[in-house]
Amino acid sequence: MNVHQRTQWHRDTDGTRYRARRSFPAGPARATVLLAGPGSVSVLDGQGRDDLLLERLTGRLVAQGAQVLTCDMPVREPNSPSTEADRRTRAGRLSRLLAAHRHLPAGPLVLVGFSLGALALLQLLRSGEPRQADRAVLVGTVIEEDAFLTSHVPSLDLVYGSFDLVGYMADADDETLPPAVFAPDMYGQWSASRLVGRRAFEVRVHLLEGLGHTLHPCGPGPSRDAITALTDLVGTAQ
């Protein structure tokens, strides 16, 4: 199935230009998916493993009848920590992307984010934008503090690759404590317990075997098909 696309230029409040893209099927769309990539992906036409995964996911979702909204994100230096300004910019662009397409309603609204993109979506949900979404799928998101969701999302899925290990350095004042490393079967449940909202909602934790932080195969043994797992969670298929 061919993916039809429309790309438009926009500006941040500081004047920085960036592109927003709508990918859609030939016929009427049955759902809208707001897709936010990880920090490694900054432009819509980038090249790399994460870009290819997002391209394949977009193609599968469109083939199942969804329109997919995405946009350029701020360039981030590799291995450098995310800044508050970076997170604000990401959330702001996603908010404006949704607002620009409110005249094109198409069934359920689903939010899908990877790593920093997932944190940006979580920031939107905490601020009340959108007012309501039908579900959210957040990949590789560690939630270390209570997050109160002002938006209403009846179903929220936290997705982790089984090899996505998270390390924490010990207290610098106590040299007897070794660094701690946690697997997603532990920190995933911690993250789920920190999500609260105005109304009750369901939080589910999924571990995808043989995959890493942004759901690429790593380590020994078989691995799950990330695209199939994500499209099943998004639920656009009839």
Q: What is the DSSP letter of 57?
A: H
Q: Do the beta carbons of residue 234 and residue 61 sit within 8 Å?
A: yes
Q: What is the DSSP letter of 209?
A: T
Q: Rounded CA gap, 12 and 190, in Å?
A: 35
Q: Name the token pair of 179.
A: 């660094």
Q: What percent of the chain has pLDDT over 70?
A: 93
Q: Do the beta carbons of residue 25 and residue 4 sit within 8 Å?
A: yes
Helix axes 226-234, 49-63, angle to 10 degrees: 40
* Banded pLDDT at 179 (limits 50, 70, 90): low
Phi, psi of 53 (to 5 degrees): -65, -45
CA distances to 117, 148, 211 from 127, rounded to whole Å, are: 16, 9, 31
Q: Rounded CA gap, 2 and 25, in Å?
A: 7
Q: Rounded CA gap, 3 and 60, in Å?
A: 9
Using DSSP, state whether 166 is helix, strand or coil.
strand
Q: Do the beta carbons of residue 30 and residue 36 sit within 8 Å?
A: no
Question: What tens digit of pLDDT does each residue of 55-71 get?
Answer: 999 999 999 999 999 99
Q: Rounded CA gap, 5 and 14, in Å?
A: 27
Q: Name the token pair of 68.
A: 């997919």
Q: What is the pLDDT of residue 238?
A: 46
Contacts of 47 (CB under 8 A, 6+ apart): none
Q: Give the DSSP letter string of 82-146.
A: PPHHHHHHHHHHHHHHHHHTTTS--S-EEEEEETHHHHHHHHHHHHT-SSB-SEEEEES----S-
What residue ranges define each of the domains in the chain, with the CATH number in brackets?
A: 4-234 (3.40.50.1820)
Q: Do the beta carbons of residue 73 and residue 86 sit within 8 Å?
A: no
Using DSSP, state whether 62 is helix, strand or coil.
helix
Q: What is the pLDDT of residue 178?
A: 53
Q: What does the pLDDT average to over 186-195?
A: 94
* Banded pLDDT at 15 (limits 50, 70, 90): very high
pLDDT at residue 196 tops 90: yes
* Banded pLDDT at 174 (limits 50, 70, 90): low
Question: What tens digit of pLDDT does each residue of 99-115 get?
Answer: 999 887 678 999 999 99
Question: What tens digit of pLDDT does each residue of 111-158 get?
Answer: 999 999 999 999 999 999 999 999 999 999 999 899 999 999 999 999
